[in-house]
Amino acid sequence: MKWPICGPKLSLCCSIISVWGIIQFILLGIFFFIQSAPLIDDFEFEKKNATDILVFEEGLKEAFHQRAYNCWVAAFLYIGLLIFA
């Protein structure tokens, strides 16, 4: 006999949260990947990095891509939660 870990109400709640999280993090990852301008407020800038424009621009591109990958990893974790629920 299989013992359920969570009941039907908790399973439905987790499923709804998972679907919302998947949609939100995939879209946020896409916007970070295409370097959307409104998301630049999420980065902290140091004055020493702002002296050389090429170094600053390369660091900013790398930071955008790293945050995009982090969002996609979070979306896959929500997919795992959806499968579990």
- pLDDT means per 10 residues in the chain (85 residues)? 74 90 95 87 67 79 91 93 80
Of the candidates 85, 42, 35, 23, the one whose C-alpha atom is nearest the C-alpha of residue 65 is 35
In a domain, 8, yes or no: no
User: What is the pLDDT at residue 11?
Assistant: 85
Of the candidates 37, 43, 42, the one whose C-alpha atom is nearest the C-alpha of residue 56 is 43
User: What is the pLDDT at residue 58?
Assistant: 83
Residue 77, token pair as written in the block: 């974790």
In a domain, 65, yes or no: yes
Residue 83 CB-density burial (10 A; 0-12 exposed, 13-18 middle, 19+ buried): exposed
In a domain, 80, yes or no: yes
In a domain, 3, yes or no: no
User: What is the pLDDT at residue 44?
Assistant: 73
- Is the CB of residue 82 less than 8 Å from the CB of residue 19? yes
Give 34's DSSP letter.
Answer: T
User: What is the pLDDT at residue 7?
Assistant: 83
Domain containing 75 equals 14-84
In a domain, 4, yes or no: no
In a domain, 18, yes or no: yes
In a domain, 7, yes or no: no
In a domain, 44, yes or no: yes
What's the domain count of the chain? 1
